[in-house]
Amino acid sequence: MHSAIEKLRSLAEENKTILCFGIDPNMEKIDGKGGGGTTEEEIVSYYSSITDALLDENQISAIKPNYAYFAQYGFDGLRALKNIIEQYQNRTFVILDGKRGDIGKSSDAYAREVYDFWGADACTISPYMGSDSIAPFLRDGKLAYVLCRTSNEGAKDFQEKKVGRKYLYELVAEKAVGWNGSNAGNTCGLVVGATSDSIVRITKITKNKIPLLIPGIGAQGGDLKMVMNAISGKNSDPYIHRINASSSIAFAYEKQGGKPKDAALNEAGKVNDGIRKLL
């Protein structure tokens, strides 16, 4: 079985990008643009059209469907999620963004849902309940991205609190290093937003050996150059990381006009220009 790290690296080298397309369905924006039909059909048609184009043009090396955006539309949304994952699980790296995390037995069940039912390569999880809530997600061939320093404004409320001389997010990063070291064959990654310079501190802690999922460079206005400099230093392995952009690609047509697929390709191309200069 190939490790998640090997799959991440191989896809990024093949496509010459570490860009991840975040899939966050919003029926107000896509209604009627997916060809009509049920909510499920609209979601699948709209995002498949864009994702196919991005993959065909080597513009992405992962997708990140966000569970909540699908679940808000009930069973139509959940069936759309299953359809999308099944379409792309053999074509690219699939990160199910569900932000799971609970006591051991519950995490066992959540891990089976994410990996066995949905068929994702990776997921996002919360570290707040500690190691026994993380352990079930550290499965051979899979990857668990632990929320570390997120891209939202409220991240400062807890993640930047000092615990002794260190920020709380630094302690999370240190724990992730330990969880990797104590779980042979398993991989723990980190979610680190592009909207603060914390990524510089975090890559020093992880020695750039732990895969990062980096949101915030699109609509949230994160600093792509800062991110690339942080993950592309000496002895680093930038191909194991993923920089995520969601609405800025999916709804690029709102600013650019034209067909959603064409606008998405154009927007992803602009992001990749920045990525490939420093990759």
196's CB contacts (< 8 A; 6+ apart) are 149, 151, 155
Which among 196, 234, 227 is positioned nearest to 212, based on CA atoms? Answer: 227
Write down the H helix ranges in 139-259: 168-181, 198-206, 224-231, 247-250, 253-256
Number of Cβ within a 10 Å radius of residue 123: 27
**Annotated catalytic sites, by residue?**
99
Block residue for tokens 């006591």: 103
Block residue for tokens 């959603």: 260
Alpha-carbon distance of 279 to 267, in angstroms, equals 18
